[in-house]
């Protein structure tokens, strides 16, 4: 049985963290705002208690930052711990399957030896073959069930990590008065961005601090 190992969580790698600010409406025609955004972007510092970060603000009040999710996933403790849990779970069910498969092979080899030696009656051969076929079918069903369990486990943890990050970023956006927090990673649609808008370091630090605190309580 081939069980897929943990990969980077696609729900995080491909998602776009985009939250519209309710208390910062964009005025004027949408097309002229887009032109204004392209031509008149200026950087303004955003004060923080812990880390100094910057955002892009337009004359219409749009403030933008981004998170590099590739970097986030390699440094976020919750994701790393979750990955280890999935690996441990898959290793456990892999061993369980391999034990059953070895036992079936041993029974089959033993049956062949006895049959060749003429130690079994025709009825015993028929009964043994029927039993081995039934065990083989059960092993195939076990492989399918274990694969489904592994997939469900990965999906559950992926959803938990995704929900945790999105919830944190929504609160972070409100705290820092950002209009948008974008995803900048290998699987995102954002091709280039000013490093001054990167808030990944602060986000990782605070996510890990939150995770450490919750793990102790």
* CB within 8 Å of 54: residues ≥ 6 apart: 43, 44, 45, 46, 65, 196, 197
Position 48 in a domain: no
**What is the span of the domain harbouring residue 178?**
64-215
Residue 183 belongs to some domain of the structure: yes
The pLDDT score that the predictor gives to residue 28 is 42
Cα–Cα distance, 155 to 35 (Å, whole number): 41
- For residues 190 and 21, the model is more confident at 190
Per-residue pLDDT, 43: 35
Q: Is residue 156 part of a domain?
A: yes
Residue recorded with tokens 């910062």: 24
Work out the percent of the chain whose per-residue pLDDT is above 90: 62
pLDDT at 147 over 60: yes
Question: Quick check: 59 pLDDT over 90?
Answer: no
Q: Is there a domain that residue 162 lies in?
A: yes
- What pLDDT is stored for residue 27 in this prediction? 41
Distance CA 73, CA 161 (A): 10
Average pLDDT in the chain: 79
- Which region holds residue 65: left if phi is over 0, alpha if psi is between -120 and 50, else beta? beta
- The answer to whether residue 27 sits within a structural domain is no
Q: Do the Cβ atoms of 16 and 181 come closer than 8 Å?
A: no
Evaluate whether residue 190 is within a structural domain: yes
How many Å is the Cα radius of gyration of the chain? Answer: 28
pLDDT at position 56 is 52
- Which of these, 14, 81, 97, 96, lies nearest to 215 by C-alpha position? 81
In the numeric block, which tokens belong to residue 75? 């440094």
Flag whether 51 is in a domain. Answer: no
Q: Is the pTM of this model over 0.85?
A: no
pLDDT on residue 209: 97
Q: Which two tokens stand for residue 140?
A: 């195939």
Q: What are the tens digits of pLDDT across the range 168-204?
A: 999 999 999 999 999 998 888 888 889 999 999 999 9
Q: Per-residue pLDDT tens for 76-109? A: 999 999 999 999 989 999 999 999 999 999 999 9
Q: Looking at 33-47, 64-78, 107-121, 137-151, which range is the least confident one?
A: 33-47
Report how many domains make up the chain: 1
Q: Is the pLDDT of residue 50 over 70?
A: no
Higher pLDDT, 5 or 199: 199
pLDDT in tens, 100-113: 999 999 999 999 99
What are the distances in angstroms from CA 188 to CA 43, 71, 182?
23, 13, 9
pLDDT surpassing 70 at residue 207: yes
Count of helix runs (H) and strand runs (E) in the chain: 6, 4
Residue 152, in any domain of the structure: yes
């Amino acid at each position: 049985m081939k069980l897929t190992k943990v990969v980077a969580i696609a729900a995080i790698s491909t998602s776009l963290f985009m939250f519209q600010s309710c208390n910062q409406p964009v005025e004027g025609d949408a097309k002229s705002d887009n032109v204004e955004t392209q031509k008149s972007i200026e950087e303004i510092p955003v004060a923080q208690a812990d880390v100094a970060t910057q955002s892009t603000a337009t004359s219409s009040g749009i403030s933008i930052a981004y998170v590099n999710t590739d970097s986030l996933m390699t440094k976020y403790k919750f994701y790393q711990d979750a990955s280890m849990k999935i690996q441990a779970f898959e290793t456990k069910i892999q061993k369980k399957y391999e034990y059953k498969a070895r036992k079936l092979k041993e029974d089959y080899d033993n049956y062949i030896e006895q049959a060749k030696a003429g130690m079994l009656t025709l009825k015993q051969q028929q009964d043994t073959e029927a039993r081995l076929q039934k065990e083989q079918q059960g092993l195939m069903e076990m492989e399918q069930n274990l694969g489904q369990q592994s997939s469900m486990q990965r999906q559950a943890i992926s959803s938990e990590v995704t929900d945790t990050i999105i919830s944190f970023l929504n609160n972070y956006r409100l705290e820092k008065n950002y209009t948008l927090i974008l995803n900048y990673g290998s699987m995102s649609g954002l091709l280039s961005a000013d490093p001054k808008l990167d808030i990944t370091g602060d986000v990782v630090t605070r996510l890990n601090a939150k995770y450490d605190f919750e793990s102790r309580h």
